Structure 1
């Protein structure tokens, strides 16, 4: 979005400066019926609070590795940008035993217990709700994040040429490399500020993360992120495309009914 953007967190700052009120992520979970729409400003507030949690409450340092055991979800996007803000390496699907800290959803708690560092759990319930019973040995994100500050400043500048993003311990990218690849993908996809990208891809590969977050963010576009989209009928999917003004799709989507 801006020639001086060198990390994914920079992309968010530029989006916030350009138009804080525009929609950034619209999230659907077709297993629960959840729909959440976050403007750039609301999303950035969640990122700032989460970055403060990482830096102050969890005590993470730049270069520490965070195993991120979460599906494609609006809260996952928050954690990815918060890691970028703090210089912590986000290892999506990474090995908790090899990580300095771990962030887990409700389905990966046992796996996450292999981490000897700080552990954070997300319920992934609608509206970012708490666990009914907090998982033992984990910090409940929904309990801790509301009290964090609404503005974030790193203790040390984030190095755009340091490792920032990995996928299951491999394919490590620096912040600058992630931004450059997102820019290339946005150009290849022909994304513009009026684009609305509906993605059904997981975040555990570059293609999924780019289509469902980074390339639209770089282009000033917005994302319709869908989980459990396979539960939607073709007719209902066609209605969603129309109501959300979708201009492009990524991943396996239901075939829309023929108009012929």
Structure 2
């Protein structure tokens, strides 16, 4: 990645310039059997559409707090980078009542209703499927995002020194996210585009977010993000590590 990258959105732009066709996020849900692989280009397209939804339809501005009540999932990773693109603060598991926008999975809808601002619901179904019936008081992400533009331009430049992420009570600027991700990448043994990290960590800690997105992105590598990994036996895990050409793991 470029030494001049100062925000997570910068890291994604550099990855797109370097090799748009390579895998970036491979997602498994071992409770459902789902597997989804997104190239850098496909992931960046989802981010652009989501950022346009966030900035345009949801009227989010730099500094606005977006409570992400979501598990470790490829769509959560998209929302993290969309917030970074707009300049909004991604608040992982944050208080919906204090948020300007809330983004919720199907299991946290009741908590999300505390938000007096815009509410978005994600069904988290395979292939980004929609809810059979949109939850009352929410916009269905899978319904709203496809029509959004494929290119994103923020209304105002994103300041890398402004808050970008809140996780486990700690607030980080965009520059701090990038700096810590680079340091973590070195500790995890991620050295470049061939690096491939398998993570079974949740997204409710910095360690989980870094292993599950930011550190691989910071080094130009990729992540195999596994939800419900505990349901996978040791032999099956070993086979996945081999078949996915994993070079490093973060399991606990």
Question: Normalising TM by the smaller chain, what interval?
Answer: over 0.9
Give 2:54's aligned residue: 54
Give 2:175's aligned residue: 176
Higher mean C-alpha displacement, 66-75 vs 180-189: 180-189
Q: How far 1:30 moved relative to its partner?
A: 0.7
Q: How far 1:190 moved relative to its partner?
A: 2.2
Q: How far 1:236 moved relative to its partner?
A: 1.1
TM-score (norm 2): 0.98
SS in 1 for 2:249: strand
Q: How far 1:238 moved relative to its partner?
A: 1.2
| Structure 2 residues not aligned, in runs of 5+ | none
Return the alpha-carbon distance in structure 1 between the equivalents of residues 187 and 233 of structure 2: 30
Map of 1:150-165 to 2, 5 A cutoff? 150-165=150-165
Return the alpha-carbon distance in structure 1 between the equivalents of residues 130 and 188 of structure 2: 37
TM-score (norm 1): 0.95
Q: How far 1:239 moved relative to its partner?
A: 1.0
Give 1:190's aligned residue: 189
SS in 2 for 1:13: helix
SS in 2 for 1:147: coil
Q: How far 1:61 moved relative to its partner?
A: 0.8
| Structure 1 residues not aligned, in runs of 5+ | 253-260
Give 2:228's aligned residue: 228
Matched, 1:166 2:166: yes
SS in 1 for 2:175: helix
Q: How far 1:189 moved relative to its partner?
A: 1.9
CA RMSD of aligned residues (A): 0.7
| Runs of 4+ with deviation above 2 angstroms | none
Return the alpha-carbon distance in structure 2 between the equivalents of residues 4 and 145 of structure 1: 31
SS in 2 for 1:25: strand
Give 2:72's aligned residue: 72
Matched, 1:202 2:202: yes
Give 2:82's aligned residue: 82
How many residue pairs are counted as aligned between the two chains?
251
Return the alpha-carbon distance in structure 1 between the equivalents of residues 167 and 241 of structure 2: 30
Map of 1:1-260 to 2, 5 A cutoff? 1-168=1-168, 170-192=169-191, 193-252=193-252
